[in-house]
Copies of this chain bind each other. A is one copy, B any other.
Amino acid sequence: MQTSIATVSLAGSLAEKLRAAAAAGFDAVEVFEPDLVASPLAPAQVRALAGDLGVRIALFQPFRDPDHVDPGVRARTVQRLHRKCEVVRELGCDLLLVCSSVHPGAVREDGELAAQLRALAEVAAGHGVRLAYEALAWGTHVADYRHAARVVAAADHPALGTCVDSFHVLSRGDDPAGVAALEKVFFYQVADAPALGMDLLPLSRHHRLFPGQGGFDLAGFHRAVLASGYDGPVSLEVFNDLYRQADPGRTAVDALRSLRHLADLAEPGTLPEAPSPTGWAFVEVAASEEGSPAVTGLLGALGFARTGTHRRGEVDLWTNGGVRVVVNGRPTRARAQLSSLGLQAEAPHALAQRSRELLAAVVHRPVGTGEAEIPSLVAPDGTWVQFCGRAPDWSEDFLPVPGREPAAGPRLREVDHVALPQPFAGFDSAGLFLTAVLGLCGGELSEIAAPDGLVRSRAHCSADGAIRIALEVGPTSGRLRGRPLASGHVAFRTDDALAAAAAFAAAGGEALEVPENYYADLGARFDLDAGFLDRLRALHVLYDRDEAGGELLHFFSRALSREFFVEVLERRGGYRGFGVANTPVRLAAQRRAPGE
């Protein structure tokens, strides 16, 4: 697969965009005309720069409004095409994207339209340039890719073909099956998009996403394009307000990751195969010297015991039943923060190799003599992800602490989920990492009204639910009001949240205080036994019920820092959610007790 990206998908000057695309590893770029027009580099200099960087310029775009009922306008269009074909050639490429017309003077009759396009193709051919005609989803008369293909067939000129763009097909709800039957596909653009309930034009201009970040079935689309016989570049054309302002180097890495993942989804085996992680080995909390007593105090109250200490010191293993927490005593930006996720993997090294192909930052922790080598990745937000195999066993790197009895706190079953806060522009990037690299599946987006703005959250789960990672992101300008609005946390599952809350309190644990108004509302919303409601209230346990009658009982520790707290939850009757209905209450309570 030849990979390509449109310069409009990246922030910066044209030169910066080319450098970012090349650095990520793209084979080619599409040059977006406004990027060239605003650039001090002449087309020949752009060509030379691309050559130096080792990226090909696959296409220049867009040439708008090719047809017109007015002969005067047509004559000017021909002149315009001459000029633009010269630019195409100066750029060292031979392909120009032509969009279906969007003005009221567009030609309605297909025969006439074909004749006009044929005339333009003849002009282009004179320059050694080919035209790729694309149906914009909001084109005046030509909005359907099949329609565009019919007109191209009727025009019957060797320099005229079509461009198919997944956005323009799938956003309209068109059946992509006909793509496989297309002839003369000169170019293929691919973009994803979320279902935002908005008109296609603003959706296209502002909210396109890289494959895997939105809701389209792009694997099927991709297969259809390949079935048509197309073997040119697969090019990402992603108009996105956030990518326009993000670091282009990072965006380009995301972009190429999404393409490689798409190719593997469409044709499994394109990437090295490796089974996805299957469950939690551990979670690691980094605690500063000041934060350490609070972390170990909290773990103790939750019934964890310090059962191991790392051969090389500074790192302890705490266990409660099958749940293992690694406490890493190293300098951190907060008193405590979630620093690493240890995931069980059947073939850690194969998974690391696959991750590397997906442009993940693969690192190797320093390994002492006799220690297990744990292939590790750094996620886009800086959290480490470590793949733990059965042998060698990572936990054998910890020397047992003799004679430690489990503490008096509650018995925990397993890690239920972790939540990772993301920088504003990093939410979709992190989601792609979880889906492409870790094989998780993203759920619905939740929007939570917090006192200082809307928080968005999306859970990503493995197929069997054994791994659940929620991403959270604060509002646009969270810094406006000076408070971080999302913090990391780990949720432990128990079989009896009320007993766990009682044991936690008895062991000196401090739960996040839940306001009385919450319980009054709970009593109004659900038909709860008065004694049960009283117990929830007394223990600061929150409650939710889903439509199928499944129930969630959960409580939170007071935050240890602005970046870390712990949740304990019980799922009854197959409850699958995360208690998002209670999140506004939790966030408001944490604002009153934000941690240090």
Residues of A at the B interface (CB closer than 8 Å) are 8, 11-13, 16, 33-34, 36-43, 76, 79-80, 83-84, 87, 196-199, 201-202, 205-206, 241-242, 244-247, 424-425, 447, 449, 451-454, 475-478, 480-481, 513, 515-518, 520-521, 523-525, 527, 584-585, 587-589, 591-592
Contact A12-B584, Cβ < 8 Å, known A37-B518, A592-B40 = no
Cross-chain contact A525 with B80 (CB below 8 angstroms): yes
23 contacts between A and B (CB under 8 A): A8-B449, A11-B481, A13-B451, A13-B591, A16-B451, A34-B584, A38-B451, A38-B587, A38-B589, A41-B517, A42-B517, A83-B520, A84-B524, A87-B520, A205-B447, A206-B454, A241-B453, A244-B453, A244-B454, A245-B454, A246-B480, A247-B481, A424-B480
6 more CB-based (< 8 A) A-B contacts, given A37-B521, A245-B454:
A38-B517, A40-B592, A87-B520, A244-B452, A245-B477, A246-B481
Tell me the smallest distance from the CB of A510 to a CB of chain B, in Å.
Answer: 16
Cross-chain contact B245 with A476 (CB below 8 angstroms): yes
Chain B residue at smallest Cβ distance from A13: B451
Tell me the smallest distance from the CB of A223 to a CB of chain B, in Å.
Answer: 31
Highest count of chain B CB atoms <10 Å: which of A13, A38, A527: A38
Cross-chain contact B515 with A476 (CB below 8 angstroms): no
Tell me the smallest distance from the CB of A526 to a CB of chain B, in Å.
Answer: 9
Contact A476-B37, Cβ < 8 Å, known A12-B451, A198-B197, A198-B198 = no
Cross-chain contact A478 with B245 (CB below 8 angstroms): yes
A19 to B303, CA, bound (A): 43
Checking B247, B513, B517 against A36 with a beta-carbon cut-off of 8 angstroms, the contacting residue is: B517
A226 to B108, CA, bound (A): 50
- Main secondary structure on A side of the interface with B: helix
Cross-chain contact A588 with B481 (CB below 8 angstroms): no
Cross-chain contact A33 with B521 (CB below 8 angstroms): yes
A594 to B286, CA, bound (A): 42
Contact A197-B197, Cβ < 8 Å, known A42-B516, A454-B245, A525-B80 = no
Cross-chain contact A245 with B79 (CB below 8 angstroms): no
Copies in the complex: 2
Q: 7 smallest A-B Cβ distances: which pairs?
A: A245-B453, A197-B199, A83-B524, A38-B588, A198-B198, A245-B475, A40-B515
A242 to B452, CA, bound (A): 10
Cross-chain contact B585 with A37 (CB below 8 angstroms): yes
A481 to B197, CA, bound (A): 30
A87 CB contacts on chain B under 8 angstroms:
520
A481 to B251, CA, bound (A): 13
Chain B residue at smallest Cβ distance from A589: B38
A452 to B17, CA, bound (A): 11
Chain B residue at smallest Cβ distance from A475: B245
Chain B residue at smallest Cβ distance from A17: B451
Chain B residue at smallest Cβ distance from A244: B453
Cross-chain contact A477 with B425 (CB below 8 angstroms): yes
Cross-chain contact A451 with B11 (CB below 8 angstroms): yes
Contact A515-B79, Cβ < 8 Å, known A453-B241, A454-B241, A477-B425 = no
Checking B41, B198, B524, B584 against A38 with a beta-carbon cut-off of 8 angstroms, the contacting residue is: B584
A205 to B446, CA, bound (A): 13
Chain B residue at smallest Cβ distance from A516: B42
Cross-chain contact A452 with B39 (CB below 8 angstroms): no
Chain B residue at smallest Cβ distance from A587: B38
Chain B residue at smallest Cβ distance from A522: B37
Chain B residue at smallest Cβ distance from A84: B524
A476 to B12, CA, bound (A): 16
Tell me the smallest distance from the CB of A477 to a CB of chain B, in Å.
Answer: 5
A584 CB contacts on chain B under 8 angstroms:
34, 37-38
A488 to B278, CA, bound (A): 56
A353 to B516, CA, bound (A): 47
Contact A38-B518, Cβ < 8 Å, known A245-B480, A453-B245 = yes
A241 CB contacts on chain B under 8 angstroms:
453-454, 475-476
A453 CB contacts on chain B under 8 angstroms:
11, 241, 244-245
